[in-house]
Amino acid sequence: MNQSYAQLQDLLDELLIFIFKQMHNVEVLYSLFGVNERLNSILLDSIFTNRLNFLKWFSKKFLTVYSLDIIFDRFCLQILPAVHEKIQWLDVESSSMKRILCAADYPNLHGLSLFNTEAETIKSLFTGRGECQYHIFTYPCQMSYYQYLSNQFPGGYYPYVRMVSLYEDCPFEHEFFLQITQSFPFIEKLVLINRKPQQHKQSSESENDNCHLSIVKYSHLIELKIKRVYDDYVEEFLSEQKHFFKIIFVFILLVKLY
């Protein structure tokens, strides 16, 4: 093995890149990342780190459960924390997705493909109060959209986001919409899907109660889609005591639940 590494060192960078491109990205990273600084600088190129597919290589029949554990330990403890900012897309399946998603923060992740995964598993992973959700939302990135945010959204500041969709099986209260506009100040399109009535609506129906509410201000919103919701959310957005739209004309698409 040492002789093989020595032979690689004798090759030009261009030739090494050509050779590595013929291999699977995950295999190249596992085999060569950390050998020396020169190889690391080559492997940190977006060609090898932009998208990591953990399906094809790990599906090889010669890999035992024991060897898979060793491979995942190396990826989760050494490789992913070192290349996490380079990763824009991950392909994972049910047995490995939690370890991979929780191994590092992925500030530039634009896509995530989940295979052989039950819907309930996905739901618990992204809507629960778990460690993985923290890693997914830790850093603001330059994505222009966020989809299916829930009540578990921890907040933050995302100045590049222009489109947000909200989906939850639990009610969205007024304070949540306030948090959304603070986290996404330049939002232009908002989509809301929620089948559950608001729990604290009664406490804010009178004018006196409404006076104590902070007004949710949308400075750049031009399109609002309210789909499959209860009347609570229609009243929420149409109330001048609760929501303010700076742009006079806002396109509103309403699809009621009943």
- pLDDT, tens only, 217-255: 888 988 888 877 777 888 888 887 888 887 655 555 655
What is the chain's mean pLDDT, rounded?
Answer: 78
Instruction: Report the candidate in 59, 63, 33 with the shortest Cα–Cα distance to residue 48.
Output: 33
Give the pLDDT score at 212: 59
- pLDDT, tens only, 165-181: 888 888 889 999 999 99
Express as a percent the part of the chain with pLDDT over 70: 73
Strand order in the sheet with 89-93: 51-53, 89-93, 111-115
pTM of the model as a whole: 0.49
Q: Per mean pLDDT, which range of 149-153, 154-158, 233-237 is the poorest?
A: 154-158
Residue the block writes with tokens 């400075």: 219
Q: Which two tokens stand for residue 230?
A: 């209860």
Please report which confidence band the pLDDT of residue 205 belongs to, taking 50, 70 and 90 as the band edges.
very low
Whole-angstrom distance, CA of residue 144 vs CA of residue 36: 37
